Amino acid sequence: MTSKLSRKDLLADALYIDGKWQQGKNTFTVTNPSTGDTVATVANASEQQVEAAIDAAHRAFQSWRHCTSEERSKKLRAWFDAIMLHQDELAEIMTLEQGKPVDEAAGEVAYGASFVEWFAEEAKRIRGDILPTIKNQQENRVIKQPIGVVGCITPWNFPNAMITRKVAPALAAGCTVVVKPPSLTPLSALALGVLAEHVGIPAGVINIVPTDDAKMFSETLCANPKVRKLSFTGSTKVGQTLMKLCSENVIKMSLELGGNAPFVVFDDADLDLAVEQLMASKFRNAGQTCISANRVLVQDSVHDAFVGKLSHAVKKLKVGDGMNKDHDLGPLINQEAVDKAHRLVKDAIEKGATCELKGGQDEHLGDLFYLPVLLTNVSAEMEISQTEIFAPVVAVQKFVSEDEGIELANSTPFGLAAYFCASSPQRIHRVSYALEAGLVGINAGAISHYMNPFGGVKQSGIGREGSHYGIDEYLEIKTLVQGGL
C-alpha cells in the first residue's frame, strides 16, 4: 500500500502536465464559501499550457494504449487504494473549497474511489467478437480500441467524483486525459493528481490544467485534432456550445447536462418512506446536485399529510460550517447561487405560492448560508418549476390523477433523473415505463452508484457514465475482415 501523505502534501496549487508540476503566468484564488477565507492561490493555465497538456497526453497515449489490461488495472487499483487511504484528508480539502459537510465529503471521496476500483476491474473485461462465417476461407472479427486523448470538463458540486467517473474508465480503456477542473473547486482534482503521481501512473497519462478561462480551454481543446473525445458535466447551455465546437473535428462526446427532476408522491405511497427518500434526494450537498428533486408533485388526497411530515423533517436540519460534523448542510457555493434562490422563492410567493417554512439567509451564519425553505401551492408556470433550483428549497405542487402526475413530471425539456413513491406493483410498472428520464428512483432517493448507468435523455445529455456501459464511451469498435484462410 502507498505511504500516507498529509493534507498539506495533497494541497497542490500548480498545473500537472506531463508528470511535472508547473506554475502559470497568472493565478486565481480559491475561497472557502463558509468563511470567505482564501484556501489557495492556484496556477492559471494559458492556452500554450493547455496545448502542452494535449501534446503530453498524445505522446503518453502511444505507450499507455499498449499496456496490457492487467497493467492498467493494477495502476488504477493502486490509485484507488491511495484515495481511500487519504479519504479524510481529501474530504477536508473538499469541504474547505466547496463547503459540504466533511462527513458528506468523505462519502463523496468513497463514491469517487468506487469508480476507480470498478473500472480497474472492467479494464480486464473489454471484449470483442468473432462473427458467424459469411464466406468460406474468411473470418470476421470485432475488436475494441481506445479512442485516444480525452478532454474532461467537470463541475464544482462534486469535485472528486466527477473527475474519477470520467478519468477511471478512460484510463481503463487505454486513453489518456486532459482535465479542466472547475475554477471554484480545483483543489480536489489536483489532490487526485498528487496521488496518481504517487502511485506511479505514468507521466502524461493524467494532465490537470486548472483555469478560470473556460472558453479558452474549450476552444483550444476542441480545435486540436489530437483530441478525440470530450466528456463534460455541466449546464445544458454550455453543453450545446461544446457540441458546436466538437462538430468541427467530429469529436465523440459524452454530456451530462441539466436536470429538473420530479419527485412524485402517489396516494398509495408510504408517506414516511417518501419523506425519508425526498430528504435524501433533495438536501444532499444543500440541494446543489444535478439529480436533486426539483419539483415535488403530490397527489391531492395525501398532500396535507405529506407536507406535515416533510415540514417536521426539514425543521430538524442543521446548517453551518461543514467542518463541524454536527451540521447537515453547508453553504451555497457563491453569492450568485444565493441570489438565484432568493429570486426563485420571491417569484413563487408573488405568484401565489405559500411559504410553509421561511428559511433563507441567516446573517448570524454568514453570507452564503441558506436555511431550507418549504413552499406549497406551487404551479407548473412558476419559474421555480422550470429552473434547476440548486439550493435547499422544496417546491410542492398538487395533482389529481396518475395521468396528470406523469404528465406534470414529463413536462420539461430535461430528463436526467425522476423519482416516484407508490405501493401498487401495477402502478410502479406503469409509471416506471412512462417517466422520461435516464435514471428513475422508485421509493428510493439515493440512486447514483458505480454499478448504475448515469446519464439523461432529451436535453439532459448524451451517453452514460459508470456501470459496465461506461467504458464503451472511451472505445472505438473496429471490424476486421480476413480472407485467404
**Angle formed at CA 171 by CA 165 and CA 176, multiple of 5 degrees:** 110
Three-state secondary structure along 108-144? Answer: HHHHHHHHHHHHHHHHHHCCCEECCCCCCCCEEEEEE
CA distance 158 to 143: 34
Of 164, 73, 154, nearest in space to 114 by CA = 164
Q: How would you classify residue 160: left for phi > 0, otherwise alpha for psi between -120 and 50, otherwise beta? A: alpha
**Helix 161-173 and helix 69-85, axial crossing angle in degrees, nearest 10:** 160
For residue 159, give the 3-state DSSP assignment.
coil
Which triple of cell numbers denotes residue 342? 432568493
**Residues annotated as catalytic (active site), given as ranges:** 256, 290
C-alpha–C-alpha distance, residues 378 and 374, integer Å: 10
From the number of C-beta atoms within 10 Å of its C-beta (0-12, 13-18, 19+), residue 358 rates as exposed
The neighbour count for residue 328, using CB atoms within 10 Å, is 18
Q: Which run of H or of E encompasses 173?
A: helix 161-173
Angle between the 87-98 and 102-122 helix axes, to the nearest 10 degrees? Answer: 120
Residues 178/207, Cβ–Cβ less than 8 Å: yes
Contacts of 385 (CB under 8 A, 6+ apart): 295, 378, 379, 395, 397
Label the pairing between strands 457-458 and 176-180: unpaired
